[in-house]
Structure 1
Amino acid sequence: MLRRRCRTAFTLVELLSASAAATLLMGGLASSLYIASRALPDDSGPRSSAMGSPYAVGQIVGDLRYARRFFELTSRSVAFETPDRNGDQAPERVRYAWSGVVGEPLTYEFNDEPAIELVRHVDQFDLTALTRQLEAQEFAVTPSIPVVFEEFTEAKLSKNGTYLWVNRPADTQEGDLLIAAVAIDSDSGADPYMPAGWQPIVVNKYFYNGYYYATLGVFWKIAGASEANSYSFDWTYNQQAYGWIMRFTGHHPTAPVQAYATAADYLAEPASPAVTTTTNNCLVLRLGAFDDDDIDVDAPGVPAHTAITMDKSKSGDDNISGGAAYAYLPMAGDAGASHFTLTDIEQFVTTTLAIQPEFP
């Protein structure tokens, strides 16, 4: 399984800042090179040139468009790095320079090759505008690191019992967020008992016309330095069960669950309630317990969400199913309601969680 991941993207603020800086730089380059071009001899003049000054300026501007970093930047020379051009999988080094002596050439260097004359008999070439500095207030940009679903484990109790052992996710490390969901057929009696170190989020049951049809318990913990290999979730009455434990990284270290909501009803598309967040880039986790086995295995059917699981305690009557899926909410606010998809109408319990990131 993947370990805690490094960021591979940038925030909108960072991209806009970089774009603005690049725009200012290219504006300065264009202005300075335009001025420089007016000082280069014209092709129609009495002096000969290795390349006409308009073409030379065009080449310089074209190269500078691909500059990734500068090695040298003075009023009369510029050296910089560009991406690979010759297919050797290495960046290129380009340099333009003029000695400052009237009549001397403007030269061009590519990597370690000897300098060549780009324009002969130059009267003036001034890149002062390139060396001007813009003063700006410094500010720190905190990287946005999303909550990441890493893996899950599951367990099935296919005959009536009062407890379910679920293995710890294999790659669990200290500080990871573990969320457990236990779907129990009918009535569990007392709420499911949590293993030591776990915290309850919510336990909900569907009750109608004197009968219980499904129970869903949801719990969380932050993994410690030494975790048990498996955890036992217990209840009172003999029932079947399906349970799973999900592992997340990138979460808030002390208060990962920002909000939750729960619902219970009797539908072919079990409603998953909305939650409202106050932090950007939350992960919205939708969980469900469904009476019987009217499901498509591995397909929770939550629109625009990534599936985690959809499975059952066993096939046939008197069993229980459970499912999970998630999506990201880039901006704080209402995550909106959604739904699971079953193959027939069934009683259900659903719970929606908002997991907030450490760095939103």
Structure 2
Amino acid sequence: MTRPTNHLARGLTLIELVISMSIVVIVLAGITGAVMLAGQAVEANIVSADQSTDTAFGLSELRDDLTLATAIDDLSETGVTLTVPDRTGDGTDDTVIYTWESSGATLTRILNAEPKSIIAEYVQAFTLTPSVTFTTADDSNEPDAPPDPSTWGYFETLAGSVCPSVNYEGYVESLQVTPEWFIDVDMPADVDEGDLLIAVVATPHFQNEDPPNDITPPPGEGWTLLDLGSEEYGNLSKEYMTVGVWWKNAGASEVSPQTFTWTGWGRLGMAWVMHITGHDDVTPIRTMTIASGQSSSPVSPGLVTTADNALVIRIGAFAQSDITYGDTGIGDETTILMSGVTGNISGGATYFTQDTIGSVVDKAFALTGTQEYRCLTMEIVPCGTPAETTPDDDGAGSAALAYLDFTEAKAPSDVKTLDIPVPTTVEGDLLIATLAVDGSESPAADAGWTEILNTNSSGKVSYAVWWKLAEASEPATYTFTWSGNEQAYGTMLRFEGHDPAAPIETSDVNTGKSFNPSVPAVTTMHDGALILRIGAFEDNSVTVGDSGMVGYDTIHMDFSAVSASGCSNGAAWTLQSLAGGTGSTQFVLNANKQFVTATILIAPAPREVM
């Protein structure tokens, strides 16, 4: 498959420069032909002004050498040797050698026997191509005559340069219309090695079928899991839904079709694979948010993009086929598909390009009936996009905002109090205490703590959270109490780099029952805020040490007791580089349980302007 090539060159300014070279034709006396220097307006990442200026000067030398060369003495994939008119003032022609060894190497120039000079560093590709094809005038077996060097141009790409855009290329869909334990889906046509493939598989499962989260990609094909979750609310029908999403960079040769499997009863299902190009091949999917529930207008949650010209894809899976085929209802975005198995599972997707870094708002799919849903929104960044880094620490003497460590305490038998150890602190550290208690309780904290939330879910599990700033001297433990005899699990989390005057910017809470408890979205007014996602869950149906939250670092995920009674408590965190909406996300449980979840935004310390 042939696509337009991005011609990228290192710029000339301290920040960014759009380089645009018009096609130039220079007619030379005594030489028939022309030199063609082709370029395209693109953005380039800059290392330094000196390096940028040196590169521009070097490329100018290359253009002059190509224009004035009288002969090509040697040409290979890694360089060219030219004869050029006298450059040194000794009255004789000179020899110029340009060499480039491999992707990421330096392009160098040698004039006669002088030391090498650097033309450009971190060159990913360098090619000399004739604009006119020359052949001999007769039918002899002599090789083609060397092309006039003045007809040659150059193309170079520098490592670290950002591609101008990410491109959606197409999709392939498969429907499983009879009950089976698998679904076969073809790979899209015209896929080249390194292209991005995103697979979505949705299938019903039956109430309390164990395990529900069981879709498996074909082994050995390199698929990386993005999300796998089940929706089982129990209000609409006896059939529920499991959805999986995976990604991979295509290999040199892709097996087609590929088979995704599941266990349990034979089921219907649908799958589709989307084809993307121009993406970053290391971490193409930088941001993803998830929402689930029951609705005729299921929301694909917003997010904050991390790169210019990012491709945003929305994916929705629905437990029934109450849809308008071919129409997602999201009118200002391009529909990829809206399809399904009649009377059963369905799904849809849209895409658009976000030109600049910023917030992506919530959007709702339009269904023709209320049903269980699971929606994802993802950001795919252009190739060469730098990895996300912790926001700069511009505050004088202050640490970057970060989670540090936590302590915990468990009550595996029925009690009315819990002593939670205090982490080793520095005065001013932010402490957040979380307490999950079995049943319906309203826990209380020792003096000095400020309450963030205190609620329960249907009387099955209670959750209370407080914060305080560490003092110069802290006790070994703090005591938390409640009225009944219940099991409990409490933790104390420590942070630094927060705003000491108002560390908790905002918070929100959610309750319900699910395999995948939704954690609510909030909005921050600060660049570099810390997003803390926490939750308390009925019984012990968690995977210890794994929140299941994509794109977040798990702090803890554990339970009060090994027995099925009791409660569980989880937490995960990440940094959000820019102000805006956080989007919602989800914990992953091993059973359909009552939950209380919350999102807490921690504001960074104010930055001083020096």
Quickly name the TM-score band, shorter chain normalised: 0.5 to 0.7
Instruction: Work out whether 1:19 is the aligned partner of 2:67.
Output: no
Distance 1:255 1:58 in 2: 60
The answer to whether residue 489 in structure 2 is matched with residue 242 in structure 1 is yes
Of 175, 191, 197, the residue aligned with 2:428 is: 175
Does the CA-based 8 Å contact 1:29-1:61 persist in structure 2? no
Residue in 1 aligned with 2:508?
261
Partner amino acid for 2:443? Answer: P
Counterpart of 1:44 in structure 2 is: 92
Between structure 1 and structure 2, the one with the greater Rg is: 1
Whole-Å separation in 1 of the counterparts to 2:568 and 2:604: 29
In 2: Cα distance, 1:53 partner to 1:316 partner? 75
Alignment of 1:77-156 (within 5 A): 143=394, 146-156=400-410
1:100-148 residue CA offsets vs partner (Å, 9 max, x unmatched):
xxxxxxxxxxxxxxxxxxxxxxxxxxxxxxxxxxxxxxxxx96386421
The answer to whether structure 1 residue 59 and structure 2 residue 116 are counterparts is yes
2:444 to 170, 189, 193: 193
Seen in structure 2, the aligned counterparts of structure 1 residues 292 and 26 have a Cα distance that, compared at 3 Å, is same
CA separation in 1, counterparts of 2:502 and 2:393?
A: 19
- In 1, the alpha carbon distance for the partners of 2:569 and 2:488 equals 9
**Structure 1 residues 350, 23: closer, same or farther in 2, change over 3 A?**
same
8 Å contact kept, 1:280–1:332: yes
Name the % identity: 33
One-letter amino acid matched to 2:455: N
Deviation at 1:201, TM superposition (A): 1.2
Amino acid at match of 1:290: F
Structure 2 counterpart of 1:286: 533
Contact 1:26–1:65 (Cα < 8 Å) also in 2: no
State the superposition RMSD in angstroms: 3.3
Confirm or deny: 8 A CA contact 1:251 1:358 kept in the other structure: yes
The 3 A distance-change label for structure 1 pair 53 and 232 is closer
The correspondence of residues 337-348 of structure 1 with structure 2, limited to 5 A, is 337-348=584-595
Report the residue type matching 1:277 in the other structure.
Answer: T
- Between Structure 1 and Structure 2, how many residues are aligned? 259
Q: Is the 8 A contact 1:43 1:53 kept in 2?
A: no
Decide whether the 8 Å contact of 1:142 with 1:359 is kept in 2.
no
> Which amino acid in the other structure matches residue 162 of structure 1?
K
Q: 1 or 2, which has the higher helix percentage?
A: 1
| Shift, 1:59, TM fit | 3.0
Q: Within 1, Cα distance between the matches of 2:434 and 2:422?
A: 13
The whole-number CA distance in structure 2 between the counterparts of 1:341 and 1:31 is: 54
Asked if structure 2 preserves the Cα contact closer than 8 Å seen for 1:158 and 1:314, the reply is yes
Describe the shift of the 1:165–1:56 C-alpha distance in structure 2 as closer, same or farther (beyond 3 A): farther
Separation in structure 1 between the aligned mates of residue 594 and residue 60 of structure 2, nearest angstrom: 73
Q: 1:22 to 1:238 in 2, by over 3 A?
A: farther
Question: Contact 1:42–1:53 (CA<8 Å) still a contact in 2?
Answer: no
* CA distance in structure 1 between the aligned counterparts of 2:600 and 2:517, rounded to whole angstroms: 16
1:238-286 deviation digits (Å, cap 9, x = unpaired): 2111000111122222212111110110111111111111111211111
Deviation at 1:29, TM superposition (A): 6.3
- 1:233 maps to a residue whose letter is F
Aligned to 2:420: 166
Query: Is 1:205 equivalent to 2:233 in the alignment?
Result: no
**Within-5 A mapping of 1:306-321:** 306-321=553-568
State the SS of the aligned residue for 2:445. coil
Deviation at 1:195, TM superposition (A): 2.0
Unaligned ranges ≥5, structure 2: 1-13, 17-44, 65-85, 94-108, 123-391
Change in Cα spacing, 1:43 to 1:242, as seen in structure 2 (3 Å) is farther
TM-score if structure 1 supplies the norm length? 0.63
The CA deviation string for residues 55-109 of structure 1, in whole angstroms up to 9 with x for no partner, is: 57773556x979xxxxxxxxxxxxxxxxxxxxxxxxxxxxxxxxxxxxxxxxxxx
Q: Residue type matched to 2:509 in 1?
A: T
Q: Secondary structure at the match of 1:19?
A: coil
Contact 1:158 1:240 (C-alpha < 8 Å) held by counterparts: yes
Partners of 2:520 and 2:584 within 8 A in 1: yes
Give the Cα separation in 2 of the matches to 1:26 and 1:359: 39
1:22 positional shift: 3.7
Q: Is the 8 A contact 2:456 2:463 kept in 1?
A: yes
* Distance change (3 Å), C-alpha of 1:54 and 1:192: same
Distance 1:220 1:39 in 2: 73
Aligned-pair CA distance for 1:20: 5.6
The answer as to 2:468 corresponding to 1:221 is yes
1-side partners of 2:464 and 2:551: how far apart?
A: 25
Which structure 1 residue ranges, 4+ long, deviate > 4 Å from structure 2? 14-18, 27-35, 55-58
Contact 1:204 1:216 in 2 (8 A): yes
Query: What secondary structure is seen at the aligned counterpart in 2 of 1:309?
Result: strand
Deviations along 1:302-346, one digit per CA (max 9) or x if unpaired, are 122111111111122431111111122222111111111111111
Q: What is the CA–CA distance in structure 2 between the aligned matches of 1:296 and 1:15, rounded to whole Å?
A: 46
Contact 1:146 1:282 in 2 (8 A): no
In 2: Cα distance, 1:270 partner to 1:150 partner: 25
**Which moved further from structure 2: 324-333 or 339-348?**
324-333
Q: Which secondary structure does the structure 2 equivalent of 1:187 belong to?
A: coil
Distance 1:186 1:53, change over 3 A: closer
Flag the 1:31–1:56 CA change in 2: closer, same or farther, 3 A. Answer: farther
Instruction: Map Cα deviations across residues 191-227 of structure 1 (whole Å, 9 max, x no partner).
Output: 32222222111112113xxxx1111111111111111
Give SS of 2:491's match.
strand
Q: Is the 8 A contact 2:110 2:116 kept in 1?
A: no
Q: Within 2, Cα distance between the matches of 1:256 and 1:56?
A: 65
For normalisation by structure 2, the TM-score amounts to 0.39
